[in-house]
Amino acid sequence: MADWENLRHFLAVARSGTLSGAARTLKVDHATVSRRLAALEVELDVALIDRLPRSCRLTAIGQQVCDQVITMESASDGIARIARAAHTPLIGKVTLSASPVLAAHLLAQHLAHFRSLYPDICLSLASQAQQVSLSRREADVALRMVRPKETGNFTRKLGVMTFGLYGRRDYAHRDVPDRWQFIAYDESLADMPQQKWLLGIAGTRPIACELNDISGRLTAARAGAGVAGLPCFLGDADPGLTRIGENVASFSRDIWLVVHRDLRKTPSVRAVIDFVFALITQHGGFSK
């Protein structure tokens, strides 16, 4: 079994290309690096480095060993992060990224309750339509409408958000589908699944207005501007709206929670995950 310190010194030589460069990186003297490297070659009984007049070059087997040591180093760093996370108290800031509809019309309504449960955690709620990178710490936890594909993250499906058509209760053409006019996104969001669903229903019927903000579409529907495609948890809860079009094609989007594996068990992050999980799974407006 190779000594980890010997492996660490070897990796520094491989990266710097010289014994002196490795010594500067590790803040040790040249002789220590040379001794560690020689000891590793004795342990493994192979030559790892060709010592040239002004540099060091990996042998073929040295390159293979280097690749494995890099993997070991990454695992070692991961162990250290997990250990630090286990000792982190329920305090600090946790950034939660969510789509605008979830951020503004569900999560924001429960921030006061979260604060009462965890007074020392600042929950930073980022309303974002685009996906963020957890590996770059653009957020600690994210709620997404498509299944995440990044490696190194923990993902879990929380529920299903169903959509329906909604209009003002006294919408003039409520019972005359041929005369419906629709409230849609503009062309910049033409690829949104809910936009395609709505335009498929609209067909040749007119688009009355376009708004890219969910709050704007909700307000326009309340004002009687037309028929809007809205999440059912939002439309059903609005006393000024009614669901119409019983025979229209159904549509839904999955809700996925994603968190970097290294942060999953951090107490403050765990508190946010548990809170969001309970909120969505227990909410009557979402199905499993």
The reply to whether 92-160+253-282 and 161-251 are identical in fold is yes
51: tokens are 């010592």
Q: Which of 212, 209, 259, 196 is nearest to 101 (CA)?
A: 212
Provide the whole-model pTM: 0.65
Distance, in Å, from the CA atom of 184 to the CA atom of 225, rounded to the nearest integer, reads 11
Amino acid at 273: I
Say whether 264 sits in a helix, a strand or coil: coil
- Cα–Cα–Cα angle for 183, 185, 190, nearest 5°? 135
For the chain, what is the HEC assignment? CCCHHHHHHHHHHHHHCCHHHHHHHHCCCHHHHHHHHHHHHHHHCCCCEEECCCCEEECHHHHHHHHHHHHHHHHHHHHHHHHHHHCCCCCEEEEEEECHHHHHHHHHHHHHHHHHHCCCEEEEEEECCCCCCCCCCCCCEEEECCCCCCCCEEEEEEEEEEEEEEEECCCCCCCCHHHCCEEECCHHHCCCHHHHHHHHHHCCCCEEEECCCHHHHHHHHHCCCCEEEEEHHHHCCCCCEEEECCCCCCEEEEEEEEEECCCCCCHHHHHHHHHHHHHHHHCCCCEC
Assigned CATH class of 92-160+253-282: alpha beta
Q: CA–CA distance from 199 to each of 106, 115, 194, 203, 233 (Å)?
A: 26, 41, 9, 6, 21
Q: Which two tokens stand for residue 165?
A: 């058509």
Amino acid 168: pLDDT = 94
pLDDT for residue 83: 66
C-alpha to C-alpha distance for 10 and 33, rounded to whole angstroms: 8
Domain boundaries, the chain: 4-86, 92-160+253-282, 161-251
| CATH code of the domain occupying 4-86 | 1.10.10.10
- Is residue 100 within 8 A of residue 65, CB to CB? The reply is no
Digit-by-digit pLDDT tens for the chain (288 residues) are 688 899 999 999 999 999 999 999 899 998 999 999 999 999 999 999 998 888 899 999 999 999 999 888 877 777 766 666 565 567 789 999 999 899 989 999 999 999 999 999 999 999 877 777 777 778 899 999 888 777 778 899 999 999 999 999 999 888 899 999 999 988 888 888 999 999 999 999 999 999 988 889 999 999 999 999 999 999 999 999 999 988 888 899 999 999 988 888 888 999 999 999 998 988 877 877
- May I ask the CATH class of domain 161-251? alpha beta
Residue 154: DSSP 8-state: E
- In the numeric block, the tokens 């040295």 are attached to 62
pLDDT of residue 286: 83
Q: What is the pLDDT of residues 5-47, one digit of tens each?
A: 999 999 999 999 999 999 998 999 989 999 999 999 999 999 9
**pLDDT for res 63:** 93
Q: How far apart are CA 41 and CA 55, in angstroms?
A: 18
Helix (H) or strand (E) holding 259: strand 251-260
